[in-house]
Structure 1
Amino acid sequence: MTEVGGRILSLKDFLQILFEESEIELNKEALEKIDKNFEFLKQFSTEKVIYGINTGFGPMAQYRISDDRTLQLQYNLIRSHSSGSGKPLPPLLCKAVTIARLNSLMQGYSGIHTETVELLATLINKNIVPCIYEHGGVGASGDLVQLAHLALTLIGEGEVYFEDEIQPTAEVFNRFNIQPLNIHIREGLAVLNGTSAMTGIGMINILQANKLLHWIIILSAITNEVVGAYSDHFSYELNIVKPHKGQNWVAAAMRDILSDSKLIRSRKEHLYESDAIRQKEIFEDKVQEYYSLRCVTQILGPIFDTIQHAEKIVTDELNSVNDNPVVDHENHNIFHGGNFHGDYVSLEMDKLKIAITKLSMLSERQLNYLLNDKLNQKFPPFVNLGVLGYNFGMQGVQFTAVSTVAENQTLSFPMYVHSIPNNNDNQDMVSMGTNAALITKKVIDNSFEVLAIQMMTVLQAVDYLDCSAQLSSKTNAVYTAIRKIFPKFINDMPRYKELAKVKDYFETSDPLALINAELPVANN
């Protein structure tokens, strides 16, 4: 059971509701606050001009709406803005949007009847998920189009996901004897105005970005092992003199993962105190590794910091009042402004996708190092365990990794600076926040593919060296787990199904549990 309202909803709480299907319980004091807020609005709005209650919306706000039409106005808003297009968002994302909208409305500043939040909680608890489409929101007056489809569900119209298929909302409501929402004053505007689409999707992005970060640290550790890298580049002494939090966190994580590795070398032992090395004029081994191996802490450190900051900002947005106007019963006033504007989330999603693109680039470079025998001077071309020239090893999947990283690089152009005025220029500065969140999700999905290809290659490299027993206990646990779904191969066969299995494993498994580590995720 997860209580919503009256407290901060954390990322952990959010994910518990979303993935563990923890049942929602609405905080009683928060419900009382919502009721007081509603009663205040009902009294305060009498014989006053209040935006969105007895006026039109946006540039149409100059038109007064007669008292006998104000409730129908809310229905008109919902139906007219249910204009999304493109693909339906996956059910998980739609449920995330619903949770985010519920939590915002539970703050008690939206002038809604308690029926609204009670119905939202019912839908979440019964796993009835509104069907929302990818295209439509510009993220300025909130995620109007995406949230209109949520509101359409609440009034018993449109479609929902239920039992893994899209079904008419009315049929599912009838099945459970759920009464559609009745509009009381401004429930339509309260549901539509807000940043809950970009925020809900953003919360999932942060979870998956954290997972990618943990996987690439593990992959970097194993890659350093199989090439016999030196330990000083992730040492405490080297990293502490550059006091960035992320860099030192990554270095500590690598030291923990590699603590009992028999493959990582000591520079002191192999270079400083070796008589054989002192007498050589030309060294076969590189004195320093390539940057994709040696600069892992400096490359992944900023990515850690970016994810951590994104979690702070998006969690703040999740717990914010982000509709307009703000109905403040405590100060006996209604405040008009722009809390529905999505720039906070949009900017964080753009920063996050740039960071994750860089993460995928690091993975691709480490992959290239393993596949290019002229660079590593350790493995056959493409880590080919068969007959050179006759078999192809990992050659085919490298193309997939490179093309996917290239797509990430193109997708990394920011949406935050891509404002297009619309709504008769009423919305002359927009955030494009939902677009930013959805493109970030695409970059994250792509990156799981790239990391899966690197992992497949690393495992082949381990078997070429026959060194699994010399891996650290933590990386050996990863090797053993993934070899169960991707066995060692010599002969050429299609690899796309195995790639899909490894990617799915990466997306759905907890890498920290696999290596029995308690590395911090992101502390606010």
Structure 2
Amino acid sequence: MINIGGQRLSADHLFDILFNGQPVALDPAAVDKVSTNHLFLKNFANEKLIYGINTGFGPMAQYKVSESNRTQLQYNLIRSHASGGGKLIEPFLIRAVMVARLNSLMQAYSGVHPDLVHLLRDMINAEVYPCIYEHGGVGASGDLVQLAHLGLALIGEGYVTHKGDRKPTAEVFRQLGLTPLQVHIREGLAILNGTSAMTGIGMVNILQAKRLLSWSVALSAMTNEIVEAFDDHFSHELNVVKPHRGQNRVAAMLRDLLAGSRMIHDRADHLYNPDNIQREVFEDKVQEYYSLRCVTQILGPIYDTIVSAEGVVTDELNSVNDNPVVDHRNNNIFHGGNFHGDYVSLEMDKLKVAITRLSMLSERQLNYLLNDKLNQILPPFVNLGVLGFNFGMQGMQFTATSTVAENQTLSFPMYVHSIPNNNDNQDIVSMGCNAALMTKRVIDNSFEVLAIQMMTVLQAIDYLDAASRLSAKTKAIYTELRHLFPKFIEDQPKYEDLRRMADRFAAESPAGITFNA
């Protein structure tokens, strides 16, 4: 089990929870602190005016709420803000959101009753996922709308998905013996006021971005093999004199992937040979196109962006991000804005731009392979049939080009797109959940673009009868994926092949490649 509350959660922990089905457990010492924190709030709140306990919310905070209405106030908050629209967020993303909210509450600065963290744990382990919608959050007082739908499920209302079916929460709770949350003092506000939706989705984006980069490196290696490129552009000696961490890491990955390849050329053998120097026109290209030669310089910044985003969003995952902060250690309550999602919003925008760039590199490498006038070794569109009668990968290029264009448009930053709302109480907002969801769309799009490139690479390798000359690691990738997408000559619809290949890329990194941050 993954222990929540007794350690700093990492991307690796979240990976195990999301993709390896690891259940979560609550650290007993941390639960004791949650209980202590709750009791402190109950005692401290007597005879004091504290936001969200005996006041309204947001611009309504100047209105005092009577003692008799305090509990109902929390229910009103949850129900009124469960107002999301658009598509349902996918269940595995909801799992990430729930883990992020649980981890924040387990820091014991939110004043919640331990019943809340126990119920959240039980729902995660039973795979009961609230129906949360994409539209609604502005990322200022946290992900209010998205987390209100989480709160709605916690109090036994609304709908959840369980074992793939959408059902009323009350029905699923009865089946599983779960008891709906009873509000004690501020559980409603503590659930809503936080960055856990954008953070959970953002962490998934980072995990998937690592897979994307790994596939991009693999495709770049195989594309360089197909065109029999020179080895010096990914050499240690060339890259080490430009001391960016990402560039040198990508170069090392390429060298490892291409070790033993009989298709990559040594420059000294081909262009430093005295027999060749006498020629007026060289058959071997002196330098490849940028999309082949500048892979380390293009993917290096993307690698660094992913690593940076992981650090920032992991800090947010382990933060106390609601308001006010209930601090029993210092015997006080502090009002402020830890719910503001700027950290996540900015990192998601940077990640989105980086992944769009990755998809652009893939599209350029794809175009190089499809255009016989550029590569001069493959038939047009890597058509293994009759030219003019068959079409090869021609139709699939349209999909790749269109999808990259969509990524480019989606890359406009959400971080600078603040719209004041909430009677101007929220006069500058982060749009963090929007940023995370749009980044996810760019990542999903990019898996499709890379899948089309891989389908083309496989066809090209077979046209050149080059499988036996690949490196051991690229040969293993070729062999596995050729079973998934067999060689074709006659024209057939490819949309199902594309879906299978994209799903394969999204499910697991290529064998032999490790994203080591």
What TM-score do you get using the length of structure 1 for normalisation?
0.98
Summarize deviations over 1:130-156 as a string: whole Å, max 9, x none. Answer: 110000000000000000000000000
2:65 is matched by which residue type in structure 1?
Answer: I
**For residue 9 of structure 1, what is the aligned residue in structure 2?**
9
1:38 is matched by which residue type in structure 2?
Answer: H
Query: Are 1:104 and 1:319, in contact at CA under 8 Å, matched by a contact in 2?
Result: yes
Cα offset, 1:458, TM superposition: 0.5
451-460 or 20-29, which moves further after superposition? 20-29
Query: Are 2:5 and 2:107, in contact at CA under 8 Å, matched by a contact in 1?
Result: yes
**For residue 391 of structure 1, what is the aligned residue in structure 2?**
390
Query: Are 2:234 and 2:251, in contact at CA under 8 Å, matched by a contact in 1?
Result: yes
Cα offset, 1:274, TM superposition: 4.2
Summarize deviations over 1:109-143 as a string: whole Å, max 9, x none. Answer: 00000000000000011111111000000000000
Cα offset, 1:231, TM superposition: 0.2
Cα offset, 1:407, TM superposition: 0.2
Equivalent residues in 2 for 1:474-493, closer than 5 Å: 474-493=473-492
Cα distance in 1 between the residues matched to 2:102 and 2:15: 14
**For residue 271 of structure 1, what is the aligned residue in structure 2?**
271
Query: Are 2:215 and 2:509, in contact at CA under 8 Å, matched by a contact in 1?
Result: no
**For residue 318 of structure 2, what is the aligned residue in structure 1?**
319
Cα distance in 2 between the residues matched to 1:446 and 1:204: 15
Unaligned residue ranges in structure 1 (runs of 5+): none
Cα offset, 1:416, TM superposition: 0.3
1:521 is matched by which residue type in structure 2?
Answer: N
Cα offset, 1:95, TM superposition: 1.1
Cα distance in 2 between the residues matched to 1:20 and 1:393: 38
**For residue 183 of structure 1, what is the aligned residue in structure 2?**
183
2:367 is matched by which residue type in structure 1?
Answer: N
Matched residues, percent identical? 68
RMSD: 0.7
1:337 is matched by which residue type in structure 2?
Answer: G
Equivalent residues in 2 for 1:438-449, closer than 5 Å: 438-449=437-448
Cα offset, 1:17, TM superposition: 1.4
Query: Are 1:383 and 1:393, in contact at CA under 8 Å, matched by a contact in 2?
Result: yes
Instruction: Verify: 1:521 aligned to 2:516, yes or no.
Output: yes
SS of 1:79's partner is helix
1:293 is matched by which residue type in structure 2?
Answer: L
Summarize deviations over 1:445-486 as a string: whole Å, max 9, x none. Answer: 000000000000001110010010000000000100000011
SS of 1:484's partner is helix
Cα distance in 1 between the residues matched to 2:503 and 2:141: 36
Cα distance in 2 between the residues matched to 1:245 and 1:383: 36
**For residue 246 of structure 1, what is the aligned residue in structure 2?**
246
Equivalent residues in 2 for 1:416-427, closer than 5 Å: 416-427=415-426
Query: Are 1:16 and 1:22, in contact at CA under 8 Å, matched by a contact in 2?
Result: yes
The number of residue pairs the alignment matches comes to 517
489-498 or 292-301, which moves further after superposition? 489-498
1:194 is matched by which residue type in structure 2?
Answer: G
Cα offset, 1:439, TM superposition: 0.2
Query: Are 1:346 and 1:415, in contact at CA under 8 Å, matched by a contact in 2?
Result: yes
Equivalent residues in 2 for 1:16-415, closer than 5 Å: 16-275=16-275, 277-415=276-414
SS of 2:326's partner is strand
Cα offset, 1:6, TM superposition: 2.3
Cα distance in 2 between the residues matched to 1:521 and 1:66: 55
Summarize deviations over 1:426-456 as a string: whole Å, max 9, x none. Answer: 0001000000000000000000000000000
Cα distance in 1 between the residues matched to 2:91 and 2:122: 16
Cα distance in 2 between the residues matched to 1:222 and 1:380: 18
Cα distance in 2 between the residues matched to 1:521 and 1:346: 24
Summarize deviations over 1:310-366 as a string: whole Å, max 9, x none. Answer: 000111100000000000001000000000000000000000000000000000000
1:260 is matched by which residue type in structure 2?
Answer: G
Cα distance in 2 between the residues matched to 1:520 and 1:498: 27
Summarize deviations over 1:22-57 as a string: whole Å, max 9, x none. Answer: 121100110111111011100000010000000000
Cα offset, 1:510, TM superposition: 2.9
Query: Are 2:84 and 2:135, in contact at CA under 8 Å, matched by a contact in 1?
Result: yes
Cα distance in 2 between the residues matched to 1:407 and 1:472: 34
Unaligned residue ranges in structure 2 (runs of 5+): none
Cα distance in 2 between the residues matched to 1:160 and 1:479: 41
Cα distance in 2 between the residues matched to 1:359 and 1:203: 19
Cα distance in 2 between the residues matched to 1:26 and 1:274: 71
SS of 2:43's partner is helix
2:364 is matched by which residue type in structure 1?
Answer: R
Cα distance in 2 between the residues matched to 1:433 and 1:161: 25
Cα offset, 1:284, TM superposition: 2.8
SS of 2:333's partner is strand
SS of 2:484's partner is coil
Cα offset, 1:163, TM superposition: 1.1
